[in-house]
Structure 1
Amino acid sequence: MPAGKKVILVTGASSGFGRLTAQTLARSGHRVVAGMRATQTRNAAAAHELDELGSIENLTLSAVELDVQSQSSADEAIAVILERHGRLDVVVHNAGHMVLGPAEAFTPEQLAAVYDINVVGTQRVNRAALPTLRGQGAGLLVWVGSSSTRGGHPPFLAPYFAAKAAMDALAESYAAELIRFGIGTTIVVPGAFTSGTNHFAHAGHPQDTTTEAAYDGLYGEIRALIDRRLPALVPPDANVQSVADEIARVVDLPDDSRPFRTHIDPSRDGSEVVSVVADRIRAEFYRRLGVEGLLPSNAAL
């Protein structure tokens, strides 16, 4: 493998950020494995298109069956990657699922399912991948977060925002626990891109339709306007490719130069300012604990 080129797993790579990231990393010369569910059925076309792109452009790009809601699937995916490429250097945690509707109208089981995909799914992949990265004494975890964890929280997206906030907290703790193994962390924070992904098109909705309907009288107009106002926050020249480009830039940086957190926020919702303050507070907290060496050197930037 050429110097500086890595073997990379991108989860949730059938569409949106994940697919763009897989393609962009492969075009940068990396060996990329695009993880996705249902490669033989629902996502068969997506898997075939990636394989075809690899052949046409002479890229090392392939798909692997990966359902982040199954530990056995995560274990098998990592085994396949190691068989194909002999190593694994980077995991891009991108798989996720959005839901729309009044928070009260989601059943507890639905809330748990959103958490399972967005948070527990990363844990399954980590448990499958980290033994290899720790054994190598090197690696990188890239977590694709959301500016909602740092900026405003529009209504009617609560389960998704709550799960993304939990994933962000998990990523921060993992960063400190993995740094001495030579495994770096970068949290990539996209803003409110409302086109170019399937987040909204594939979003889930509340099962409790009776409770959902109870909100229509007082909030029906607001709910309708949210769908219009969120896209209005995004400049017309915003391009989801910028998220993939930033992930590729981070991967290509030297280990000691990668940002702990990086924002791609066309709407400028203020989340980057909040992150700077939060990271400085965290750095001071670690210093007072006497364990500042567990924090990446650039985490307080």
Structure 2
Amino acid sequence: MEALKTYATHHKVALHAVELDVQSETSAQAAVDQVIAAQGQLDVLIHNAGHMVFGPAEAFIPEQYAQLYDVNVIGTQRVNRAALPQLRKQGQGLVLWVGSSSHRGGTPPYLAPYFAAKAAMDALAVSYAGELARWGIETSIIVPGAFTKGTNHFAHSGRPADTKREQAYAQGAYAGFEQEVLDGLATCEPEDADVSTVAQAIVDIVGSPYGHRPFRVHVDPSSDGCEVVNAVADRIRAEFLRRIGLSDVLSPRLIPAPQESSHG
């Protein structure tokens, strides 16, 4: 919060930070209410909260999986339930999800809990898209690839709680494997890969005209193949919705804003 306030002051921009904990329904509702009270409306809802873990899947205890899902998946539901009534009332708005190419691209081992949570989030985003279109609400999904530089994703990633099982891998058949994974990812990532391109993609989508925003935008300098798979999956989804007579939910329905009555 303080860093954002400092940035706004230093750069002289109208940036007002509002605290929101995606793991708290009360916090999510309070944040949304605060924005609506100040601005009178919501324009864009961005799901960007996420946390990564790194290590052998077996060594993470079930509670760690649950906690990761709580942040990366259930957190989006808390915020949606707080914000969507206002967007539906307006008859217009944008829900933008920041996902991960790991949900369908080539993926290395040792990131299973994070990949599983991101796959769940993408499935939720796709389902929501069809359920919000008739309310006039657009959906866009940003799909970043692996950026090993410029974020704290890997540096601050969580570790398995069951250290005994973690050591069984580290001292057994998978000795040195963690570094192999990191080195392998680094070799796929171009030297000029810049994570700020993800932020720019968000800016571009938000700035696009209503009704013309892309459903997906991939920002993957490592080219892990997710864009290829998603092109097929999204085409099949669209074809299926047309087959069952629901083609209208593939794009938002523009709902005219209610006009105030005038008395002469």
Distance (Å, rounded) in 2 between the aligned partners of 1:151 and 1:252: 28
User: What residue is the counterpart of 2:69 in the other structure?
Assistant: 115
Q: Given that residues 139 and 182 in structure 1 are in contact (C-alpha distance below 8 angstroms), is that contact kept between their aligned partners in structure 2?
A: yes
Distance (Å, rounded) in 1 between the aligned partners of 2:168 and 2:130: 45
Deviations 1:7-54, CA, capped at 9 Å, x for gaps = xxxxxxxxxxxxxxxxxxxxxxxxxxxxxxxxxxxxxxxx22221222
Offset at residue 241 of structure 1 (A): 0.7
Offset at residue 181 of structure 1 (A): 0.6
Q: Given that residues 102 and 206 in structure 1 are in contact (C-alpha distance below 8 angstroms), is that contact kept between their aligned partners in structure 2?
A: yes
1:247 aligns with 2:202: yes
Offset at residue 171 of structure 1 (A): 0.2
Q: Stretches of 4+ moved more than 6 A in 1?
A: none
Q: Which letter maps to 1:273?
A: V
Q: Percent identity?
A: 59
Aligned length: 251
1:36-185 to 2 correspondences below 5 Å: 47-185=1-139
When normalised by structure 2's length, the TM-score is: 0.92
Q: Given that residues 260 and 296 in structure 1 are in contact (C-alpha distance below 8 angstroms), is that contact kept between their aligned partners in structure 2?
A: no
Gaps of 5+ in 2: 253-264
Q: Which letter maps to 1:188?
A: I
Considering only aligned residues, what root-mean-square deviation do their CA atoms show, in Å? 1.1
User: What residue is the counterpart of 1:211 in the other structure?
Assistant: 165
Deviations 1:146-195, CA, capped at 9 Å, x for gaps = 00012012100000000000000000000000001110000000011111
Q: Which letter maps to 1:293?
A: D
Equivalent position SS for 1:256? coil
Offset at residue 284 of structure 1 (A): 1.3
Q: Which letter maps to 1:211?
A: R
User: What residue is the counterpart of 2:218 in the other structure?
Assistant: 263
Q: Which letter maps to 1:264?
A: V
Q: Which letter maps to 1:208?
A: D
User: What residue is the counterpart of 2:155 in the other structure?
Assistant: 201
Q: Which letter maps to 2:105?
A: G
User: What residue is the counterpart of 2:261 in the other structure?
Assistant: none
Q: Given that residues 146 and 190 in structure 1 are in contact (C-alpha distance below 8 angstroms), is that contact kept between their aligned partners in structure 2?
A: yes
Q: Which letter maps to 1:93?
A: H
1:229 aligns with 2:184: yes
User: What residue is the counterpart of 1:292 in the other structure?
Assistant: 247
The structure, 1 or 2, with the larger RCO (C-alpha pairs under 8 Å, 6+ apart) is 2
Gaps of 5+ in 1: 1-46
Q: Which letter maps to 1:110?
A: Q
